[in-house]
Structure 1
Amino acid sequence: MAHATSIQYEPVAEIGGGAYGTVYKARDTESGQFVALKSVRVQTDQNGLPTSTVREVALLRRLEQFDHPNVVRLMDVCATQRSDQETKVTLVFEHVDQDLKTYLERAPAPGLSPDRIKDLMRQLLCGLAFLHSNRVMHRDLKPENILVTSQGQVKLADFGLARIYSCHMALTPVVVTLWYRPPEVLLQSSYATPVDIWSTGCIFAEMFRRKPLFCGESEVDQLGKIFEVIGLPPEDEWPTDVTLSRKNFPPLIPRPIADFVSEINEQGAQLLLNMLTFDPLKRISALNALEHPYFRDEETLTQTKS
């Protein structure tokens, strides 16, 4: 990890803030190109940076060697010692002007075309399949963490950072949105890569609706909103390692997904339900989602039917 000086990167604007600190758009004074700077303060021990942080950064750097088109590029990592107890780690990423939230807001009425949504989804799943195949969970997928270039290229951002942050930071009391969290996280059960698929399903629905699918105000309220759409899951699917009982929720039956996402076609609705499956073990994977009939072109579908 380079102990780089801040001279190389000159901040030009603040582009966001969150539980993890401020994000700046900056100019690389050597190349002249714009970059995004994300800094996190890490508690240091007697040996310097904790091995977990070094491991996470090494993983991000290793992923960088693949140069995946749907994953934001990590260009540099700088560490600056602030005190004996604390080091500031700055991650330098390629800069992309807009996120998916802004992209959806800027789309003229009536919103994105079905073909555009399909293209964005395919790219998003390609990036996710790449992360998952390298055993990286994103864990905080939402429209603000998906970047869209002016050419319409999707790039996943902020992946792999969750662990660097959560291990070493007392999070400030900001409200991290619940709306893209899967049931197993809301129930505080064990989780793995299917968490990202649930979030992707929520984002898929939002591309059509132009507003979030589940807008809960607490963990329990969020689960209630989810069950209003997918129904209350059977007793044998309810995780055993959780404190919240299934009996806390009314016995709801699934409603047609078209009631909530009206513009979606039949194949898209099928794929969406495969993503919004309560049991994470039965949820579709990113690789299998890319093979779904939704992504086959109309010609191929017509030929297979005839």
Structure 2
Amino acid sequence: MSDSNTTNFTSPSIFILQGVPGLEWAHVWISNPFCAMYVVTILGNLTILFIVKTEPSLHEPMYYFLCMLAVTDLILTTSVLPKMLSIFWFNAREIGFNGCLTQMFFIHCFSTVESGIFVAMAFDRYVAVCDPLRHSTILTKPVVAKIGLAVVLRSGLLILPQPLLARQWPYCRTNIIPDLYCVHIAVVNLACSDIRVSSYYGLALLFCLTGLDMIFITMSYTQILTAIFRLPTTHARLKTLGTCVSHFSTILAFYIPCIFIVLTYRFGQNVPLHFRVLIANLYILLTPTLNPIIYGVRTKRIRARLFSLFTQKGI
């Protein structure tokens, strides 16, 4: 394994993932919470998928979107965590050039898919709260399927140029990526040519996709909150408000680190590198860990079904 940072090449066969720069000595300790979060993510999201699949009463738009979110979280974390843990535990820091670009695509594509699903879920809640009588006619199964397909196609088609552009740059500075995975801007920063096209395209995606998604979500929850405060009883208002606040908090936990990471990689030269890398990894792990809890365990019907399964098995 070569750690040279002066290797000259135009098409590297491998990159070296440095890990958490400056905290290499603590990799084993850092791996413990990351591994625990990954286990919770896997078990929680698989449980959600199993419960929705086996319970016909949950075959509704809200739970279909929840299943889409669960699958997205599983793909997103699995594209990163196995390699990350191999770095922590076995110092296996090498990753092939094509493997790096593939990982880059999956990370950015399914992060964008997750953002789109949050928009769809916010729209579902908006219709359910603000226009409940038309909910079943607006969000039919074919409509839900088309929304899911549109979210995936939007993400795949708009993210694909990122690895394609990264592939064409000559790399003659170093093959060491100061991170735990192949994030787009960290890779193209290693190129020895003008990467403004890649940089501007990444910023455009951030503001046009993530920015618009945040605006739509904010608009939906603003309308939802307006409808909540019109409910006749305090109990109903507090119950619905508590659900919306928990959902919105999870959404913020996804978007705030995302924006922080992109902006600090470009403009935050004074931000400590290890802090930036840890925040980036929390962005990948935190929301997939919270989603099964916030959208699953806190949902009464899923919780009831889960308890019934344990009761039937005598647990």
Q: Shared fold by TM > 0.5?
A: no
More helix as a share of residues:
2
TM-score w.r.t. the length of structure 1 is 0.29
Q: Which has the higher contact order (CA 8 A, sep 6+)?
A: 2
TM-score w.r.t. the length of structure 2 is 0.28
